[in-house]
Structure 1
Amino acid sequence: MTKPESAGYDYDVVISGASLAGSAAATLLARRGVRVALLERRSDPEAYKVLCTHSITANAHPVLDELGLVPALEKAGAVHNDARWYTRWGWIEPRAAQAGPELPYGYNIRRSTLDPLIRAHAAQTPGVDLLLGHQVAGLVREAGRTVGVRASTPQGEREIRARLVVGADGKDSAVGKFAGLPARLHENERFGYFAHFRGLPLHGGVSHTWFLEPDMAYAFPNDDGVTVMAVLPDKKRLPAFREDLEGSFLAFIRALPEAPPIDSAERITKIIGMVDYPLQSRRPTAPGVALIGDAALTSDPLWGVGCGSALQSAQWLAEGVAPALTGRGDLDRSLVAYARRHRRGLSGHQYMAADFAKARPFNPLQRLMFSAAARDESMARHMHLFGSRMIGPLRFLNPVAVAKASAANIRHRWAAASPAR
């Protein structure tokens, strides 16, 4: 039966974008009794995002668990994204404490595997209508609020009315633009190129990140024995790099400390670039509108956090607005609460990422924390929690953690200064 609150609407929610954020939000909302139209501009249900780190940080594991996707990911060959990070002080190699719990983990899995899986999962959820080949061409507005979308389809334009329109349509969000939510940009002073390789062994079989100050690189093992290899140098190097893209890309990797044996591996994709990729954020709500995933906040790809943030923001939105959409609360107040939760959960990380995107060497506090993590197991675990987005900047840099880092470095200097016995 149609609820009185939904009279005059085709759906409770229209979501633009059926990739990670949109498909997750559709599933979680429908399970809470919300009627969802999930729009995807592409007509192919197997479509996927190409430009991605293909990594889901550990903060999103509870979302995957709630969605019921963990067994399917494991079956598809997703790789637990344990990691080690190179610094000038040596490798940071987080390990679980003896007799302690295992470290939290997420997954590395190619979007060509992940996107069709999560989209099909949403389409099979009662209450979700997946509408392929539907691209938002405008918003329907009444009395100062959004009450639906105009969608371009192969059969022509149609209007779909809903109490809430959700933009899950990426960093160039049409919903965000039509709703008058401009993006705040932070310049990224690094460029990036990546490619996929088969048969590229990595030490310990885990993800690698190289902090070369200011250049960066990473290697993420994925499903089906495929490794994503990316280099992110300072933009000052771009002109020379472009003169011989393939040669520069391979030479950069060969020069890495403990470099993966790139010459014996098979490259199975083109080298794909992102020359200008600014960090950006938008206010995530307007009357009748909410943004999730990259539509609300796009971070620096070097951190590999976009997929995790997409899933987490989808969960926050579903938890926040579902009661109001099923007649048990006020939608506008729910949107205010979602915006507050989004800001609290992601703005601190975004601030630090924007600062690091200036492509400069570590500042004194970063030198303290990274050097200690390379020398002390407990600090390495602390770094892992931060890198996995399990804790925010305030906990990462709290006085106790800073004091422990200082003590670890002092112990290291004492040990180095002590005469050999």
Structure 2
Amino acid sequence: MTEPESTGADYDVVISGAGLAGSAAAILLARRGVRVALLERRSDLAAYKVLCTHSLTAGAYPVLDELGLVPALEEAGAVRNHARWYTRWGWIEPRAAPAGPELPYGYNVRRSTLDPMIRSLAARTPGVDLLLGHRVTGLLQDAGRTVGVRASTAAGEGEREREREIRARLVVGADGKDSAVAKLARIPARVHENARFGYLAHFRGLPLRDGIAHTWFLEPDMAYAFPNDDGVTVVAVLPDKKRLPAFREDLEGSFLSFVRSLPEAPPIESAERITKIIGTVDYPLHTRRPSAPGVALVGDAALTGDPLWGVGCGWALQSAQWLARAVAPAATGRGDLDRALARYARTHGRKLRGHQYLAADFATARPFNPLERLMFSAAARDERAARHMYRFASRLIGPLHFLNPLAVARASAVNLRHRRAVAPSVHRSRTGS
């Protein structure tokens, strides 16, 4: 049972969740003159998310730059996340064009490094009040719109939990895929089942070719190895759920055997495993409308992607930036908040809806469709096609740009040249000449 406490100071915005999305939103809003209460249910400033791909795609680099985190990430040893991908046609290995600029990059960095870094920055930002140990238990309503939150606060040992009300023009749910704010605001989630399960572990001293990330498309199984800060590599396997019963009979043996069987498998025998093997057997994709009267959702609360793509952290930061740009003036009373929220929702949908549609379709563990076979095979055979694939995988371009007519025509030409090149050798082998 809670004991009501008198209403605290009013704010322009209350944010539930001080992870990546919530902390970034708080910083970016406060820098635009917004008074922010940033609530975090955990009481430890250094708390972090454990189950994560620990990857920030290149599409999120502009947000990291605006936040001012790039120098700190470099100093902390975050790894620029260039990558190579295995397919049935061989490896896709994107490289910069001759005499061209370096490929865009984001970072691979463990959440134990990143989360305290961005949360501490939020706590130091003028205009942000970080309230640790605060859990949202209800929403305050007035004439059909949300005008604040009811939150329980941590109490001392032997004391009852206290409750307080915090009023604000806007409440932001940055509280993950099972968002309490979304549920309290009655914003339903569209759920896309994921036909894969996933387990990961951290290794130290695990060499990877060129020191870059590896991803294996095994159709339908998946795996990846992402090098991170402090010499730690995250290795994950994402098999078809049909394999789950046998896999769970001997989790450690199954995990290690799966990794050893990968083409150009990382030499895990020579590395030190520094964590348990952790994971999830059921991780559906969630999609919610990102706004309602007086409410906005960012990060996984608005859209939970498939972990095999490593996009969640980047989208958390990007959605925070889109929200801050759209609503900051209105959140301080200098504009129409409903119009600002509608603008944010349109941007969110335009940027991410297509990516999520393809991810949800691929999460069924189906084989590559004809268009994917065309684009992936061309990328394994042609440097320009590989760079185009890299820009899509980095979420710098959307599906329509990735599959534009010129790109598809080029991929077709690449594969036609390949077939013509291999045809004479096939003919010679058959005739014995």
TM range (shorter): over 0.9
| Contact 1:197–1:227 (Cα < 8 Å) also in 2 | yes
- Do residues 221 (structure 1) and 235 (structure 2) align? no
Output the amino acid matched with 2:325: E
Aligned mate of 1:386, from 374, 384, 392: 392
Q: How far 1:9 sits from its partner (Å)? A: 6.8
Aligned-residue Cα RMSD (Å) equals 1.2
Structure 1, unmatched stretches of 5+, are: 1-7
Match for residue 307 of structure 1? 313
Output the amino acid matched with 1:65: D
Aligned mate of 1:230, from 223, 236, 239: 236
Matches within 5 A, 1:213-292: 213-292=219-298
Q: How far 1:329 sits from its partner (Å)? A: 1.6
Q: Aligned equivalents of 1:277 and 1:225: distance in 2?
A: 28
Match for residue 159 of structure 2? none
Q: Aligned equivalents of 1:21 and 1:131: distance in 2?
A: 16
Q: Aligned equivalents of 1:328 and 1:136: distance in 2?
A: 27
Output the amino acid matched with 2:104: P
Output the amino acid matched with 1:53: T
Q: How far 1:101 sits from its partner (Å)? A: 1.3
Output the amino acid matched with 1:242: R
SS of the equivalent of 1:395 reads helix
Matches within 5 A, 1:9-408: 10-155=10-155, 156-408=162-414
How has the CA–CA distance of structure 1 residues 161 and 327 changed in structure 2, closer, same or farther, with 3 Å as cutoff? closer
Q: Aligned equivalents of 1:107 and 1:201: distance in 2?
A: 18
Cα offsets for 1:317-366 (capped at 9, x unmatched): 00000011234321000000100000000010000000000101101110
Q: Aligned equivalents of 1:327 and 1:191: distance in 2?
A: 46
SS of the equivalent of 2:323 reads helix
Q: TM-score, normalised by structure 2?
A: 0.94
Q: How far 1:416 sits from its partner (Å)? A: 1.2
SS of the equivalent of 2:119 reads helix
| Contact 1:222–1:228 (Cα < 8 Å) also in 2 | yes
Cα offsets for 1:83-128 (capped at 9, x unmatched): 0000000000000000111111000000000000000001100000
Q: Aligned equivalents of 1:200 and 1:291: distance in 2?
A: 38
- Do residues 415 (structure 1) and 412 (structure 2) align? no
- Work out the number of aligned pairs and report it: 414
SS of the equivalent of 1:253 reads helix
Q: Aligned equivalents of 2:72 and 2:122: distance in 1?
A: 14
Output the amino acid matched with 2:265: A
Match for residue 158 of structure 2? none
SS of the equivalent of 1:319 reads helix
Q: Aligned equivalents of 1:327 and 1:10: distance in 2?
A: 13
| Contact 1:163–1:288 (Cα < 8 Å) also in 2 | yes
Output the amino acid matched with 1:350: Q
Q: Aligned equivalents of 2:405 and 2:166: distance in 1?
A: 52
Q: How far 1:229 sits from its partner (Å)? A: 0.2
Q: How far 1:418 sits from its partner (Å)? A: 3.6
Output the amino acid matched with 2:150: R
Cα offsets for 1:181-218 (capped at 9, x unmatched): 01110000000000000011001100000000000000
Q: Aligned equivalents of 1:300 and 1:227: distance in 2?
A: 20
SS of the equivalent of 1:164 reads strand
Q: Aligned equivalents of 2:420 and 2:97: distance in 1?
A: 24
SS of the equivalent of 1:413 reads helix
| Contact 1:9–1:162 (Cα < 8 Å) also in 2 | no
Q: How far 1:263 sits from its partner (Å)? A: 1.0
